A and B are shown apart, each in its own frame.
Chain A
Amino acid sequence: MKINHIQRFFLGFCATLLFLTACAKLVQIFMDPAAVRAPDPIVHQFQTGVFLLMVATIEFVIVALIVGNTPLSTKYLSITIISICFGVYRYAAFASGKINCSCMGLWSQKYPILSQLLLLSLVVMLTGGLAGLCWSIMKERRRPMNLQEAAR
C-alpha cells in the first residue's frame, strides 16, 4: 500500500468520524432540549447545548479543512489539536468522576461499546495525526520554494 493511500484512508476516516460525531451532537441538542440546558459537566461556563453546538461547529470546520484544498500539514494539525482537546476533556471527565462522555450524544450512554470504540478512534486519530503532522511538516519544509513562492 502506498503512503498516499494510507494518508487518504486516514484522512477519510477522521473526516467521517468527525462528521458523524458532530451530527450526533446536533441531534441531541434538538431531541433532548431539557437535558442540554444544564451546565456542561466539565466546561461549566457553558450550557451543555451551547457547548455541544460549539464543538459540533469546530468539528464541521475541521471536516471542511480535511476535505478542502488546504496543505497536508494543516489537515494533520487540526486533527492533532482536536484529538488532544477530546483527550483533555475525557481525562477531566474521568478524573472528576463523570464517566459518561457526551461525544455521541445519548447514543454513547445507550451503547457503551460505542463509547469504547470512540476512545479507540481517538487514540488512532491522535497518533495518526501526530505522525502525519511531523511527516508533512518535514516534507513540506524540505521542498524547495518555486519562483512564484519566493517572489511572494
Chain B
Amino acid sequence: MKPLSKSFIAVLIAGAGVLVFLLYSSSNTIKQSRAVDNPDTIRIKGYLTNWAKGEFVSIENSPTFARKVNEAIEGIDLQTLSAAQKNKLMEGFYNLLQAYSNRDAEYFHKYRFALGSGASVVVNPGQLKNIERVLPSAKDVEKAVRKSKNLHDLGAVKEYSSGDPEFLIEKYRELLMTASDNPKNGAMKCTDCWKGVNFSVLSAEVFASQAEPITGTWRMEREPNIGVYKPENLVTFKPSPADLISANGSVQCVYVKFMVKTSGLVSAYPASAIWYWSPAQEAWLPHELLLGCQLNSTSILF
C-alpha cells in the first residue's frame, strides 16, 4: 500500500490544529452567551434596566412636543448663550429628535442641513458609497432619483462641486428614505427608531474649543455604555470648526446629552450630539452624534 503523501499529512496536522482552536473558541463563546451570571450580561442588563427607567415623553411631530422640547432646553442653565442661540438650539434639538424618530428625509434635511445663508455643505462621497453598500443597490436608488421630480430647494447646499450636486443630494435623500421604516420602502426596516425622550436626564454644556478634534466620545465612554457608536459624517459644512478656529481663535460648541427610548431590542440608551456655532450664518451646525449603544451601523445615518 502506498503511504500518505507529505502534503496530506501537513494539511491534516495544520487543519487539526485550526479545528481544535476553533472548537475551543466556539465552545467558550457559546458558554459565555448562555451563562446567566456572565459579568458582561449582568452589567449590560443593569444598564438597560436603568436606562429604561424614568418618564419618556413620546416624540411627536406636534406643537405640544415642540413646546416640551423648548421647556426642557429652557430648564438647563445655558447663561452663556444668547436668546437667539437658545432658540436655534431648541429648533436643532427638535429636528434631531424628529430626524431619528420617524426617519422622514425632510426632517433629516432640516437637521443635517440646518444652515443660514452663505454656508455650504460638502458631501462626503466616500462615506455615501459606504452607506450605499449596505442599502439596496445603487440601481434602485438611481431609478427612484430619476422618478423623483420633487428636488428640494436646498439653497446654499448646491454650492459644492463634487459631481452633480442635485443628483447627489437626491441620492442621499433616497438613501434615507430607503433606510426608513416607511412601509413603502420596506427593504430596510428601521429597527431602532427613537420613540421617546427622557427630559429629566437632559443636560447641555456650552464650551469654547480652540483646537480640533471636537468630540464628546471621551464623555460618553466614561459614562455607562454598551459600545459607543459614532456614525461617520456624510456631510460637513463650510465654515468648518477648523475654519472658525483659525478665523476667531476658537469655536463655540454645545454638547447635549439625552436618553432615548427606541423601537429596537435595546429599549433605551443614552445619546449625545455636538453642534458648533457659525456666527456668519447664525446657526448651530451639527458636528457629531454619539450613541451609547453599538447598533447596526446601517440604521443610523449622520
Q: Which residues of A contact B (CB under 8 A)?
A: 31-32, 34-35, 38, 41-45, 58, 65, 70-71, 73-74, 77-78, 81-82, 84-85, 88-89, 91-92, 95-97, 106, 109-110, 137, 140-145, 149
Whether A141 lies near B134 (C-beta < 8 A) is no
Main secondary structure of the interface of B (DSSP, over half): helix
Main secondary structure of the interface of A (DSSP, over half): helix
Residues from chain B with Cβ under 8 Å of A85 in the complex:
15, 18-19, 22
User: With A35-B297, A65-B11, A106-B134 known to touch, is A149 a contact of B2 (CB < 8 Å)?
Assistant: yes
Interface string of B8-38 (1 = CB under 8 A from A): 1001100110110011011111101110000
Whether B18 lies near A58 (C-beta < 8 A) is yes
Whether B25 lies near A44 (C-beta < 8 A) is yes
Residues from chain B with Cβ under 8 Å of A137 in the complex:
4
Bound-state CA distance A32–B231 (Å) is 12
| Other contacts beyond A31-B130, A58-B18, A88-B26: 18, CB < 8 A | A31-B133, A41-B29, A42-B29, A65-B7, A77-B8, A78-B15, A81-B11, A81-B12, A85-B22, A88-B23, A92-B25, A92-B26, A92-B27, A95-B30, A96-B33, A109-B134, A140-B4, A145-B1
User: With A65-B11, A73-B4 known to touch, is A91 a contact of B26 (CB < 8 Å)?
Assistant: yes
Chain A residue at minimal CB-CB distance from B15: A81
Q: Is B232 an interface residue (CB 8 A)?
A: yes
Bound-state CA distance A110–B22 (Å) is 26
Residues from chain A with Cβ under 8 Å of B16 in the complex:
81
A108–chain B nearest beta-carbon distance, Å: 11
Residues from chain B with Cβ under 8 Å of A110 in the complex:
133-135
Bound-state CA distance A38–B297 (Å) is 13
Interface string of B277-299 (1 = CB under 8 A from A): 00000000000000000100100
Whether B23 lies near A78 (C-beta < 8 A) is no
Whether A77 lies near B12 (C-beta < 8 A) is yes
Whether B2 lies near A84 (C-beta < 8 A) is no
Whether A34 lies near B232 (C-beta < 8 A) is yes
Q: Is B5 an interface residue (CB 8 A)?
A: yes
Cross-chain contact of A92 among B8, B30, B232 (Cβ < 8 A)? B30
Chain B contact-residue range equals: 20 to 34
Bound-state CA distance A110–B134 (Å) is 5
Bound-state CA distance A79–B220 (Å) is 46
Cross-chain contact of A71 among B1, B5, B26 (Cβ < 8 A)? B5
Residues from chain B with Cβ under 8 Å of A109 in the complex:
134
Bound-state CA distance A58–B17 (Å) is 13
Bound-state CA distance A82–B12 (Å) is 11
Bound-state CA distance A44–B21 (Å) is 12
Residues from chain A with Cβ under 8 Å of B130 in the complex:
31-32
B16–chain A nearest beta-carbon distance, Å: 8
Bound-state CA distance A41–B32 (Å) is 11
A123–chain B nearest beta-carbon distance, Å: 18
Interface centre among A32, A85, A143 (most CB of B within 10 A): A85
A86–chain B nearest beta-carbon distance, Å: 9
Cross-chain contact of B7 among A74, A140, A149 (Cβ < 8 A)? A74
- Show 18 residue pairs from A and B whose CB-CB distance is below 8 angstroms, ordered by the A residue: A31-B130, A34-B232, A42-B26, A45-B25, A65-B11, A74-B7, A74-B8, A77-B8, A77-B11, A78-B11, A78-B15, A92-B25, A106-B133, A110-B133, A110-B135, A140-B4, A141-B2, A145-B2
Cross-chain contact of B19 among A34, A65, A74, A88 (Cβ < 8 A)? A88
Residues from chain A with Cβ under 8 Å of B2 in the complex:
140-141, 143-145, 149
User: With A34-B232, A88-B22, A109-B134 known to touch, is A142 a contact of B1 (CB < 8 Å)?
Assistant: yes
Interface string of B112-144 (1 = CB under 8 A from A): 000000000000000000100111000000000
Bound-state CA distance A42–B11 (Å) is 24
Residues from chain A with Cβ under 8 Å of B15 in the complex:
77-78, 81-82, 85
Residues from chain A with Cβ under 8 Å of B12 in the complex:
77, 81
Whether A42 lies near B25 (C-beta < 8 A) is yes
Whether A71 lies near B8 (C-beta < 8 A) is yes
Across the A-B interface, the 3 shortest Cβ-Cβ residue pairs: A81-B15, A92-B26, A96-B33
A89–chain B nearest beta-carbon distance, Å: 7
Bound-state CA distance A32–B8 (Å) is 37
Bound-state CA distance A149–B29 (Å) is 47
